Amino acid sequence: MNPRITIDPEVCSGEPCIRETRIPVHVILSHLAAGEDEKTLLKNFPNITHQDILACLEYASFVTTEKVTTL
């Protein structure tokens, strides 16, 4: 997984966050899903970078590749 995304039980109750921040991945994804552009995101969250946004998207892609099998 991308090292820009961390999961620490002591930070945001273990939610995946952008490294060295308390910004959960789902917050960035929610803003993107609502149509917010990258420029606005970077302005509103000055502690993140373009690479952090890409890492959030990569994380979302990874977790949605889980497959359900039935027995």
Which pLDDT band holds residue 11 (cuts at 50, 70, 90)?
A: very high
Mean pLDDT, residues 32-40: 97
Gap between the Cα atoms of 12 and 24, Å rounded: 8
- Token readout for 10 is 């002591």
Q: What are 14-33's pLDDT values in tens digits?
A: 999 999 999 999 999 999 99
Gap between the Cα atoms of 41 and 44, Å rounded: 5
- Other C-beta atoms within 10 Å of 8: how many? 12
Angle at 28 (CA atoms; ends 51, 58), nearest 5 degrees: 50
| Average pLDDT in the chain | 94
Looking at residue 70, what is its pLDDT?
72
CATH topology of domain 5-63: Arc Repressor Mutant, subunit A (1.10.10)
Gap between the Cα atoms of 5 and 24, Å rounded: 9
Sketch the domain layout of the chain as residue ranges: 5-63
